[in-house]
Amino acid sequence: MDSAKEKNDLCKDDLLLRVGLNDNKAGMEGLDKEKINKIILQATKGSRFYGNELRKEKQVNQRIETMMRQKAHITSQQLRNAQSQVNRVAMELEQSRDLSNTIVHVDMDAFYAAVEMRDNPELKDRPIAVGSMSMLSTSNYHARRFGVRAAMPGFIAKRLCPHLIIVPPNFDKYRAVSSEVKEILAEYDPDFMAVSLDEAYLNITKHLQERQTWPEDKRKYFLKTENFLENEKPGADVNNQEQWSALQRAVSPLLFEDSPPDWQPSGNSTQVNCEGQNNSPLLPNTVVFGTSAEEVVKEIRFRIEQKTTLTASAGIAPNTMLAKICSDKKKPNGQHQILPDRQAVMDFIKDLPIRKVSGIGKVTEKMLGALGIVTCTELYQQRALLSLLFSETSWHYFLHVSLGLGSTHLTRTFSEINKAEEQYRLCQELCTELAEDMQKEGLKGRTVTVKLKNVNFEVKTRASTVSSVVSTAEAIFAVARELLRTEIDAAFPHPLRLRLMGVRLSGFSSEDDKKHHQRSIIGFLQAGDPNTGSVPEKTDKDRLLKPLETSQKKSFFDKKRSERKWTHEDTFKCDTSDKQSLPISHPCQVLKKRMRENSETPEDSDDRQIFTCPVCFKKQGHISLGAFNKHIDACLDGPSTSENSRMFSYSHTSCVEVGNREQRSFSLCENHNHEASRENTEINSVDCDDLVEITSHPSETGLHNLNNERNTEECSDLARKSLNTEHHHPLSACTISLGSQGVGPLSEQQPLQPHLNEITKQALVCPVCNLEQTSSDLTLFNGHVDVCLNKGFIQELRKEEVSLAKQPKDGTKRTGNSDRTHKTVTKTKRPGLMAKNSASKKMQENHPRNTLDVFFK
């Protein structure tokens, strides 16, 4: 979102320093700059805020004075020396210039406002802003003509534009739309980097390579008249005139009047391909995109618009810095490319105001301005001076900027750990974490597995099975340490260069297994014989069967187990010295443990709590688990239940992706939800005839190949995606990043929530990831839950990894949100006003309102 720069510009406005980018065109109904500034000044003058702004300004002025004094003392000799030193660095940078990557920055246009306008047609032609009277997050382009911008207090905005409609933010909705967009982006770069709900970087280099060989069909899209069901592949036929007209009405809402979109559906047969590659005549209402980067980005934007009815702007460049500036250039609903050519880069940079660069803010602009530096060319010309006045990191950064250099990779980079001592320490930490989880779940295991990924991304797993079960940190570490030692020794005399480590405990046994044989929630979840709940012993041959080959008569959970076992076996078969079978923990164990835990909570020490019957959906107030099970039994035996009914359960996972920035904005199932889970002691389950549908073909959806090395929202994205595109992800482990605040202990997993309540027609909120699902299609929804559930199964295997500590990618990024290496805690100011700050964007993004209450409403 473009709020940051806007905000800074507003500060300038407030102080009447200068009006920078407030480029309203003094339209017929808008206001001119002068008027805007007058109103703002009037509203702000005399306030504490204004006073503080003045104080800050004074401070900056002082800094500038100091700098200018320093400058005055610089001798020409010093300057010459500096010049040669800086030139050396510049040469090195020039030599290492990498133009081989194609980086794309995608930015949704006036995102929040656009979503609100889309969903409420009454707002379409009116000036609106999203936020509150205290603070606005964004405004539509209509409102911007009055000077209403992001980061402006609503009450001032109202003075500028009395007819302004301020819409309270609805972050759940924005998140949902954002995931729709992300689904598309992931197809072009599975490792794309989301900056916020409306902004992301992609590296499409690989996609471009592959795309060159794609047949036209793979680049062909059908225009859709309506915006639902996300099957993006050509298939739905919409080629009649009536539908086409409907399409034209549906897409491209009149968000923007000043700059026409560079892509526009026109005529009957829409052919967007600019490269003249089509030789076959196109069907009406089909679109074929070419193979160039420009075409790829047009395709992305086209698909975003088709899917969400919202427009996006994009920038294409050889690095992130340039891509970001590019996306701003043709905003809204446009795109700009800098070709991967040095001259093209330099031409673009030449007159570029430094303020446009991400990382150069209001203060830096002013300081450099005092030195006569406004454009990137000037920044380059003054490089020697800058190296004498600024810190090394700063002038290096300036040099990067002035040469048009930036990050060329988005992949997560971690600093390696190659010291044995550190490796053992990390291993021990992991074992401790694992042991805590094991003990909370009351589980013990016999097989300890260490997973190692080296700097070349090669993964090795080494397992060892001991004669008696282990669960303590010491015992697990004793085994894991030896496994690690073997690997370290094997690498000797070279160090073992690791970027990821995981410790796993499997081969569970629990004395609780044989309890609760009754036909209850637990009984239903048990594999094999429902009477004993035991998993039938399988031969090695059995275990070599792929999930798809297993009997269709098996239960849903049977299949899940087979799938999991298969995948599990797959990772182990090459390197496990011990060929013992690896018993699988039952979901019911987890459930049961959780139930027991719940009943052991202090608030509920009498072993009684409120359960909701999954069959009749009635709350069973303050009864014991046994009584609750009896109730369910009675319900099940009653006339209302079909034979096909299956209990539904899941275990929530605290899957957190490896230190991607994504985590900041999208970690939905983190702290907040864990808290909710503690508060919500209800145990719910659901009678789910719909589940039968999943049961009949779980493997067809490709869900068993869930990539778990992603955060929860991505998992849910993948769920939908895998349903639609049969996109397969290799099974990998649930990964926890060091230093992440988001990793809740397993004991804080959520209690059971209803999967889907058909009876009460409640919102389709996934009970696992807590995300409201955009599609109202039950099959899709169930499929999604299935994936989340599957993830829960994987979690039961206790595959827990820790990515190694991260480091900044390169020296080009001085500020901003780089990969997290530690957590910074900032205390809240003005505690009394907390509740009023509903417009706080980051807060909402980081701690989304729990959707459970919506679900249970």
Site for DNA in 835-854 (CB under 7 A): 837, 839-843, 846
Single out the residue of 173, 481, 630, 814 in contact with DNA (rule: CB under 7 A): 814
254 exposed, middle or buried (CB, 10 Å; 0-12, 13-18, 19+)? exposed
CB atoms near residue 328 (< 10 Å) = 17
Site for DNA in 464-503 (CB under 7 A): none
Tell me, rounded to whole angstroms, the distance of Cα 626 from its chain centroid. Answer: 41
Task: Write out the DSSP string of 303-331.
Answer: HHHHHHS--EEEEEESSHHHHHHHHHHT-
Nearer to DNA, 409 or 485 (CB): 409
Q: Distance between CA 560 and CA 703 in Å, rounded?
A: 10
First to last CA, the chain: 33
392/679 with CB nearer DNA: 392
| Stretch 651-710 residues interacting with DNA (CB under 7 A) | 664
- Give the residue from 709, 716, 578 showing the smallest Cα distance to 655: 709
Q: Does residue number 391 form part of the binding site for DNA (CB under 7 A)?
A: yes
Query: How many Å is the maximal CA-CA distance in the chain?
Result: 96
Identify whether 493 is preceded by a cis peptide bond (ω within 30 of 0): yes
Residue 643 CB, nearest approach to DNA (Å): 50
CB 781 within 8 Å of CB 688: no
When the beta carbons of 420 and 843 are compared against DNA, the nearer one is 843
Smallest distance from the beta carbon of 334 to DNA, in angstroms? 18
The residues in 339-358 that bind DNA, with binding defined as CB under 7 A, are: 357-358
- The per-residue DSSP string of 472-507 comes to SHHHHHHHHHHHHHHHHHHHTTSPP-EEEEEEEEES
Shortest spacing between CB 834 and DNA, in angstroms: 5
Site string for DNA, 727-746 (x = CB under 7 A): --------------x-----
For DNA, which is the closer residue by CB, 144 or 451? 144
Q: Which is nearer to DNA, 138 or 773 (CB)?
A: 138
Residue of 19, 106, 114, 135 that binds DNA (CB under 7 A) = 135
- 59 counts as binding DNA under rule CB under 7 A: yes
Least separation in angstroms between CB 44 and DNA:
3
Q: Which is nearer to DNA, 155 or 214 (CB)?
A: 155
- Minimum CB separation of residue 375 from DNA in Å reads 16
- Report the site for DNA in 630-649 (rule: CB under 7 A): none
Q: Looking only at residues 137 through 196 of this chain, which bind DNA when binding is defined by CB under 7 A?
A: 137, 151-156, 158, 195-196
CB closer to DNA out of 574 and 835: 835
CA distances from 1 to 4, 195, 310, 662, 694 (A): 8, 9, 14, 15, 39
Output phi, psi for 744, to 5 deg.
Answer: -90, 145
Which of residues 153 and 614 has its CB atom nearest to DNA in the complex?
A: 153
Q: Which residue from 9, 12, 14, 187 is in contact with DNA, where contact means CB under 7 A?
A: 14
Please report, as residue ranges, which positions from 303 to 342 form the binding site for DNA (by CB under 7 A).
324
Q: Phi first, then psi: what are they for 6, rounded to 5°?
A: -60, -40
**What is the identity of the amino acid at 558?**
D
Closest separation in Å from C-beta 353 to DNA: 12
Site for DNA in 394-453 (CB under 7 A): 394
Nearest-approach distance from CB 820 to DNA, in angstroms: 3
Residue 70 in contact with DNA, rule: CB under 7 A = no
Instruction: By CB under 7 A, tell whether 816 contacts DNA.
Output: yes
d(CA 316, CA 426): 40
Q: Nearest approach, Cβ of 280 to DNA (angstroms)?
A: 42
Residue 413 beta carbon to DNA: minimum distance, rounded to whole angstroms: 12
**By CB under 7 A, is residue 819 in contact with DNA?**
yes
Q: Which residues contact 549 (CB under 8 A, 6 or more apart)?
A: none
Cα(487)–Cα(502) distance, rounded to whole angstroms? 14
Interface residues for DNA in 208-267 (CB under 7 A)? Answer: none
Contact between 563 and DNA by CB under 7 A: the answer reads no
Q: Which of residues 18-57 bind DNA (CB under 7 A)?
A: 40, 43-44, 47-50, 56
Minimum CB distance to DNA, residue 39 (Å): 10
Of 111 and 650, which CB lies nearer to DNA in the complex structure?
A: 111
- Rounded Cα–Cα distance for residues 76 and 297 (Å): 49
Is the CB of residue 303 less than 8 Å from the CB of residue 86?
A: no
Q: Binders of DNA: how many residues, by CB under 7 A?
A: 78
- The least distance separating DNA from the CB of residue 193, rounded to whole angstroms, comes to 12
Q: Count the helix, strand and coil residues of the chain and give each as a percent rounded to the nearest 5.
A: 45, 10, 40
Q: Per rule CB under 7 A, is residue 73 in the interface with DNA?
A: no
Q: Which of 8, 447, 449, 774 binds DNA (CB under 7 A)?
A: 8
How far apart are CB 379 and DNA at their closest, in Å? Answer: 13
Angle in degrees, 0-180, between the axes of helices 171-188 and 111-119, rounded to the nearest 10:
110
Closer residue to DNA (CB): 56 or 440:
56
Q: Minimum CB separation from DNA for residue 839, in Å?
A: 6
Given CA atoms 202, 204, 206, 207 in this order, what sign does their dihedral have? positive
Contact between residue 495 and residue 420 where contact means Cβ atoms under 8 Å apart: yes
What one-character DSSP code corresponds to residue 537?
P
Q: Which of residues 104-133 bind DNA (CB under 7 A)?
A: 133
